[in-house]
Structure 1
Amino acid sequence: MVHTETVRMSDRSTITVSFTEWPIRALQSLDFTFEPAGGVEGRTGLVTTVSPSGDRAGLKGIVLQRRGDSIVLPRHPRARQVWGLDVVSLPEEGTWRFEFVVEGPGGTSTGVLPIQAIAPPGPPLALSWTIALVPWAPVALLLAYGWRRARTIRRAAGPAWSG
Structure 2
Amino acid sequence: MAAVAVVALFAASPAAAAPPLPGEIVHTETVRMSDQSAITVSFTRWPIRALESLDFTFEPTGGIAGRTGLVTTVAPNGDRRGLKGIFLQRRGDSIVLPRHPRARQVWGLDVVAMPEEGTWRFEFAVEGPGGTSTGVLPIQAIAPPGPPLPLSWTIALAPWAPVALLLIGGWRRGRRIRQSARPTWSG
* TM-score normalised by structure 1 residue count: 0.91
Distance (Å, rounded) in 1 between the aligned partners of 2:154 and 2:38: 47
Give the gaps of 5 or more residues in structure 1: none
Give the gaps of 5 or more residues in structure 2: 1-24
Establish whether residue 103 from structure 1 lines up as the match of residue 127 from structure 2: yes
- Tell me: CA distance 1:55–1:145, structure 2 relative to 1, closer, same or farther (3 Å): same
Aligned residue for 1:86?
A: 110
Instruction: Indicate the SS of the match to 1:138.
Output: helix
Aligned residue for 1:136?
A: 160
Distance (Å, rounded) in 2 between the aligned partners of 1:162 and 1:76: 70
Aligned residue for 1:151?
A: 175
Aligned-partner residue type, residue 158 of structure 2: V
Distance (Å, rounded) in 2 between the aligned partners of 1:126 and 1:156: 41
Deviation at 1:55, TM superposition (A): 1.4
Distance (Å, rounded) in 2 between the aligned partners of 1:61 and 1:29: 13
Deviation at 1:83, TM superposition (A): 0.5
Aligned residue for 2:87?
A: 63
Distance (Å, rounded) in 1 between the aligned partners of 2:174 and 2:164: 15
Aligned residue for 2:9?
A: none
Match of 2:58 among 5, 21, 34: 34
Is 1:61–1:89's contact at 8 Å kept on the other side of the alignment?
Answer: no
Distance (Å, rounded) in 2 between the aligned partners of 1:157 and 1:110: 74
Aligned-partner residue type, residue 103 of structure 1: E
Deviation at 1:161, TM superposition (A): 4.9
Aligned residue for 1:23?
A: 47
Is 1:48–1:99's contact at 8 Å kept on the other side of the alignment?
Answer: yes
- Tell me: CA distance 1:160–1:65, structure 2 relative to 1, closer, same or farther (3 Å): same
Q: Spell out, residue by residue over 1:10-30, the C-alpha distance to the aligned partner (whole angstroms, 9 max, x if none).
A: 222111101111111112222
Aligned-partner residue type, residue 96 of structure 1: W
Aligned residue for 2:14?
A: none
Q: Spell out, residue by residue over 1:85-117, the C-alpha distance to the aligned partner (whole angstroms, 9 max, x if none).
A: 112221221111111111111222111111111
Distance (Å, rounded) in 1 between the aligned partners of 2:172 and 2:125: 63
Q: Spell out, residue by residue over 1:36-77, the C-alpha distance to the aligned partner (whole angstroms, 9 max, x if none).
A: 111101001111111222111111333221111111111111
Q: Spell out, residue by residue over 1:128-160, the C-alpha distance to the aligned partner (whole angstroms, 9 max, x if none).
A: 111111111100111122222233344455334
Aligned-partner residue type, residue 79 of structure 2: D
Distance (Å, rounded) in 2 between the aligned partners of 1:58 and 1:155: 52
